[in-house]
Structure 1
Amino acid sequence: MSIKLLSTEVSSKIAAGEVIERPSSVVKELIENSLDAGADNISIAIDEGGIELISITDNGIGIESKEVELAFKRYSTSKISSIESLNNISTLGFRGEALASISSVSRLTLITRSKNNDYGTKIILNNGLITEVVGTGAPLGTSISVENLFGNFPARKKFLRSAKSEFLKIKPIVTKYSLAFPEVKFTLTHNDRVSFQSPGSKRIRDVISPIYNNEISNSLLEINPLDLEKTDGSINISGLISPPSLTYSNRTHITYFVNKRLIQNSSLNFALEQAYKGFLSDNRHPLAIINISVPNNTIDVNVHPSKTEIRFQNEEFIFSCVQRVVRNTLLTKSSIPSANIPQKQNPTSNYAMAPLPLTSSDTQSLDTKTHSDEATHPDTSSFSHHNLFPILHVIGQLQNTYVVTEGPDGMYLIDQHAAHERILLENLSNRLITFSENAQSLLEPLTISLTSEEEKILEQHSEELKQIGFEIDPFGPRNHLLRAIPQVINPSNAEDELHNTLNEMLIERNTPQVMKRALASIACHSAIKAGDTLSIESMKELIQQLEKCIEPHTCAHGRPTTLHLKKSSLDYQFGRT
């Protein structure tokens, strides 16, 4: 087979396929052009999911009449002029491919007028070929209509979904850019019906309200500013995040902007998840709108034609800053969830770690083994524990499961197992941080048998297990001597707890996550159980220890430790309001 030079028609469609994948790609590119043009009012009209029509009108600076035809030449742009410009890109667009790519796979009509022209210019292109250029009356700004997308490109059109599905991909593009530019009024219609409108009020919460609702908008936490002394002012992180009580089953409600550019980044997702560690249960995700501002010359946005991928010059520093500010915001601003009395609560997740029975008397006192005064915790010196958890007065115990207390503005119910689990987890973690003795020696070593998988984990993480408090020596094929266990474990459950810990460690191969999972398992199985009767003194001690915790609102697996029954809710139920 001989080598041939592709025709302009074929090569332009191949190039267009990299930039324009579906109608939402067209909308993204044209919105970015409007924003780069300084528009503060952008209207997007969609017919049949954008397959039949995409029309975007803005009040930006427009295009000079003499440059209109040039704008449709591939790699023509007003945004960069040299290689050096690529190192300091401040605009959303810069590649000079969007208009050429869109026009090559559609019928495109553009009407534009700049302030330097007395009248506008209208240009029509069909599959990349100019068919008409005329002068016309037009307001300042630009209007672009894209019809019959991929009509001449069946290889791409056959992969489009239904009109409804395609529109559901367009709407998030519009709403997310409205979050990055709350000063811009966006109006989105589909088949002549308004689907979304932002007010352009400059307040991000005013944008969130039409996307979600007023209640969610008001519940979001504003991210605490970074310590500028540690960053030299080179980075700023702002935005809103959801409290631990507001979660979703996927990451679609997480949005990142870098210098107002909409991006996707798995490492930022990891940083955010680590910041929420201990606040959310497994497989739950927050709502987050995070704006990262950095010098333009410290990022590379020329990674992919879609421009949603970027490279940071100092990635680890950026990610640590995101994790730090989100964590600090959660620690200082998240509150105890309120119980919604009128509605029946449905559990949102299945907590698989079932309590193991403990040998105890009917009335037990807590052996919390607290050493929190010895521990040091990063970024916690600026807050008071009582800002996180109120001072509570113990009233009694409900169903031998919940501690009933009175506090500011109503009643607080404490899940005794979840609360004690949190206390034990932080105590175990504190001992590791401060290198405190964590083991209790058994009076007689236990001979235990391990599976091949458990032996692999033991060999791979022997040092971590020793730090936790397990001392294990080999004792023949598949047999080992268990000489010591963590201090929080009841010696009568020593063998079971070792197996539980090893099995939990099997699930995670990453060492930091292995440690966290192992500590969570030990804390869960060692905590007091639902059904255990507690004396008033034991309940008081439990509350006092919970008040000292760094993250008192959730257990090791993200379940809430506390629910707040507000006095106003009780008054409403009793007809007092």
Structure 2
Amino acid sequence: MNIGHLEPSIKLLPDSLSLSITSQVNVASLCECTIELIRNSIDANSTFISVVFDIEQLSVRVTDNGNGVLPSDLENIGLPYHSSKWTPSGPTQTFGFKGSALASIASLSVLTVTSRHVTQAAAKSIRISYNHRSKVYSPRDFGPNHGTLIVVSGLFSRLPVRKKHIHETPVSLHLDALKQAILPIAITKPHVTISIHDSNNKSLLHIPSITTNLIPRHIMTLRAIYGSYIINRWQTVHTIVNGFDVKGTIAFDPARTKLAQHIIVNSKRLENFEIYKELNDLFTVIGLDLTTLEKRFNRNDLASLKLISQVETKFLLVTINSTSASGSQKCLAIIDQHAADERVKLEALFTETTATALANSSTPLAHPVRISLSDTDHHILAESVSLFRQFGIVYHLSSQKWKKPFVLLTHVPEIAMRKIIPTTETLDTKFAHKLLIGHINDVSKHRTSSALPDLSLHWSVAIRSFPVALIELLQSKACRSAIMFGDLLTLEQCKILISNLSNCMFPFQCAHGRPSMVPLIYI
């Protein structure tokens, strides 16, 4: 063999293959693709962005009312390292400028861009199918307004492993990731309305632009993403230090998930979790020294509660000594009798439930519930049989021969029998899904402990391992059995309620996070 005439075996990869590899890094999911398109719309001065998000078809459709794209620029759109956001002095104040996002999407999907520039009388389109470009053409119908429509179809369809992974991931996780990524954009661009629907036109998220000064945009955004319960009372802070403009909002009532904590720098969420930990530790040490009427009490203050009277069969008027580092002051406050009793009953239920072996209360269902699964969920449930049995939850998984895996829920703890629908004598399917799939998702995202129930632990620790579906059942039971607005209480009943509230672990909020006590004025 003449080695001197052998061609070298290490060669430069073709440009198309190199782009495909780097594209998978730049755009790793349908969520990231959608966010890049939303950022492009905002960079084009859009005030309204509509998104259709389709996990099943691996497609996304983004429509905006921005300035649009010039027909001459369509020739270069989606080419690697081509951008309209770069100037000789450097990048403009936009989300993107590297010219990599659309190029990456175009190499991994069928990308169609239709746009009418604000200076043009008609729209133009271009279609890029896995880097194969069409000529710029006139679309059939775009409408009379300027703006852009981008349609991405079959993203990752030529990457079977990536495609399989996306389809096996629960849809709820895709939506959670999308909402988390949209939040900093929505907060820093309050003039933009963002609306997201699925392929059946079901609304997944709607964040309106600023329409009132009564509720700040960032509060509206938090409520849209996490639910209206996430923040009811808050304090805003603002300072300028060494040229840095810092604005913040602090909720008085704690959220159940740390995902609701956000530090946003230059329109992007800070992912350094050590900073979040330091801030939480700081608040724990110093407390929230806010305005006089919003000052929070501590549990030791509750020993000084003195009843004055019941007010309008809704509230208890009390005095309380509010202590702080500067001393103690007597304060006039009101206690919400329903919220307070709801808290008392909830903690009693938590104490009773966490000290009970739920496995012993496992109750067979007259009609087992069948739930379709992804391969990933099937695998996790197969490894979690003993965990669920500790809560009195028993299920049977389909064998591998089934093309579409499923689980058959056969037993639930006695407290879950409240979710039986009387007319059909069947367990509510949404509840069953949340009980199983919701719990394994919570455990995988570390929102719930994976530890087995320990009857020796205090309820405040033991409850962390319970499925959220069971916790919500207890919250609902506490609410329904609590003293209601309009219930006339005797003096003795009022005193008992105050005493019971004082002994609670978390006396200042009801089962659903609403405040149980509000300060009125110092006296």
- Give the structure-1-normalised TM-score: 0.48
Q: 1:30 aligns with which of 9, 20, 37?
A: 37
Q: 1:247 aligns with which of 252, 255, 271?
A: 255
Q: Which residue of 2 aligns with 1:4?
A: 11
The 3 A distance-change label for structure 1 pair 336 and 157 is same
Matches within 5 A, 1:188-207: 188-191=196-199, 192-201=201-210, 203-204=216-217, 205-207=219-221
CA distance in 1 between counterparts of 2:170 and 2:113 reads 24
The 3 A distance-change label for structure 1 pair 66 and 159 is same
Q: Which residue of 2 aligns with 1:117?
A: 120
Q: 2:101 aligns with which of 93, 98, 115?
A: 98
Q: Which residue of 2 aligns with 1:15?
A: 22
CA distance in 2 between counterparts of 1:25 and 1:97 reads 13
Q: 1:264 aligns with which of 257, 265, 271?
A: 271
Structure 1 position 150 matched with structure 2 position 156: yes
1:106 is displaced (CA, Å) by 0.4
Partner-residue secondary structure (3-state), 2:297: coil
Partner-residue secondary structure (3-state), 2:158: coil
Matches within 5 A, 1:133-282: 133-136=136-139, 137-138=141-142, 139-160=145-166, 161-162=168-169, 164=171, 165-191=173-199, 192-201=201-210, 203-204=216-217, 205-222=219-236, 224-226=237-239, 228=240, 231-232=241-242, 234-243=243-252, 245-249=253-257, 251-278=258-285
1:332 is displaced (CA, Å) by 9.6
Partner-residue secondary structure (3-state), 1:115: coil
CA distance in 2 between counterparts of 1:411 and 1:118 reads 62
1:567 is displaced (CA, Å) by 8.9
Gaps of 5+ in 1: 281-326, 339-371, 373-382, 393-406, 414-558, 569-577
The 3 A distance-change label for structure 1 pair 566 and 81 is closer
Contact 1:174 1:188 in 2 (8 A): no
Matches within 5 A, 1:398-477: 407-409=332-334
Partner-residue secondary structure (3-state), 1:76: coil
Q: Which residue of 2 aligns with 1:335?
A: 296
1:255 is displaced (CA, Å) by 2.1
Q: 2:129 aligns with which of 122, 126, 131?
A: 126
1:337 is displaced (CA, Å) by 7.9
Contact 1:92 1:261 in 2 (8 A): no
Q: Which residue of 1 aligns with 2:432?
A: none
Matches within 5 A, 1:311-322: none
Deviations 1:445-503 (A, max 9, x none): xxxxxxxxxxxxxxxxxxxxxxxxxxxxxxxxxxxxxxxxxxxxxxxxxxxxxxxxxxx
CA distance in 1 between counterparts of 2:275 and 2:147 reads 36
Contact 1:127 1:152 in 2 (8 A): no
Deviations 1:548-576 (A, max 9, x none): xxxxxxxxxxx7697886499xxxxxxxx
CA distance in 2 between counterparts of 1:96 and 1:184 reads 23
CA distance in 2 between counterparts of 1:107 and 1:182 reads 32
Deviations 1:291-326 (A, max 9, x none): xxxxxxxxxxxxxxxxxxxxxxxxxxxxxxxxxxxx
The 3 A distance-change label for structure 1 pair 329 and 270 is farther
Partner-residue secondary structure (3-state), 1:116: coil
CA distance in 2 between counterparts of 1:328 and 1:78 reads 48
Contact 1:108 1:125 in 2 (8 A): yes
Q: 1:59 aligns with which of 56, 65, 68?
A: 65
The 3 A distance-change label for structure 1 pair 209 and 411 is closer
Deviations 1:210-251 (A, max 9, x none): 3344454432332x222x4xx24x1111132222x31334x3
Give the aligned residue type for 2:90.
Answer: S
CA distance in 2 between counterparts of 1:567 and 1:77 reads 54
Deviations 1:256-282 (A, max 9, x none): 3222234422343244223323379xx
Deviations 1:86-145 (A, max 9, x none): 5xx521111110111001000111111111211111111110111342023533111101
Give the aligned residue type for 1:259.
Answer: N
1:55 is displaced (CA, Å) by 0.5
Contact 1:48 1:163 in 2 (8 A): no
Q: Which residue of 1 aligns with 2:314?
A: none
The 3 A distance-change label for structure 1 pair 209 and 170 is closer
Root-mean-square deviation (Å): 3.6
Gaps of 5+ in 2: 1-7, 300-322, 341-504, 510-514
Contact 2:70 2:116 in 1 (8 A): yes
Partner-residue secondary structure (3-state), 2:87: coil
Matched pairs, number: 309
Larger Rg: 1
The 3 A distance-change label for structure 1 pair 178 and 6 is same
Deviations 1:517-568 (A, max 9, x none): xxxxxxxxxxxxxxxxxxxxxxxxxxxxxxxxxxxxxxxxxx7697886499
Contact 2:196 2:203 in 1 (8 A): yes
Structure 1 position 391 matched with structure 2 position 341: no
The 3 A distance-change label for structure 1 pair 29 and 330 is farther
Contact 1:105 1:152 in 2 (8 A): yes
CA distance in 1 between counterparts of 2:114 and 2:235 reads 43
Contact 1:60 1:142 in 2 (8 A): yes
